[in-house]
Amino acid sequence: SQTIHQWPATLVQPVGSPLSLECTVEGTSNPNLYWYRQAAGRGLQLLFYSVGIGQISSEVPQNLSASRPQDRQFILSSKKLLLSDSGFYLCAFSLGEGGQYFGPGTRLLVL
């Protein structure tokens, strides 16, 4: 069966510092991968998705970027964090013809 991992689980970073969140999927190949952000008590905002290695689609203009250096690895980055980047970041994968499956999330607090 497939599993999805995210780390770190929580992160506290100062404004202006860089960010790197990692997501990996096990037990499958060539999944679609997604990054979402969820503000406290709010819905899910799709940030980026990838249909293959090196292929990134951005859904909203922002301070973040994404990369997919390997088939089952998806990275969310920022060069300089803003206060507004705080939130709960979720990675998900899809095998097609079915739903998306979410990781445990990373809670980011920018101070």
Partner 1 sequence: GENVEQHPSTLSVQEGDSAVIKCTYSDSASNYFPWYKQELGKGPQLIIDIRSNVGEKKDQRIAVTLNKTAKHFSLHITETQPEDSAVYFCAASRMDSSYKLIFGSGTRLLVRP
What is the closest distance, in whole angstroms, from the C-beta atom of residue 78 to partner 1 in the complex? 21
Considering only CA atoms, give the Rg of the chain. 13
Distance CA 47, CA 64 (A): 9
Distance CA 102, CA 99 (A): 10
Binder of partner 1 out of 3, 30, 57, 63 (CB under 8 A): 57
Of the candidate spans 13-21, 60-68, 76-84, 102-110, the one that interacts with partner 1 by CB under 8 A turns out to be: 102-110
Q: Which residues, in sequence order, are CB contacts of 42 under 8 Å at separation 6+?
A: none
Tokens linked to 34: 């997604």
Binder of partner 1 out of 1, 14, 29, 43 (CB under 8 A): 43
Contacting positions for partner 1 (CB under 8 A): 32, 34, 42-44, 46, 49, 51, 57, 90, 92, 94, 96-105, 107
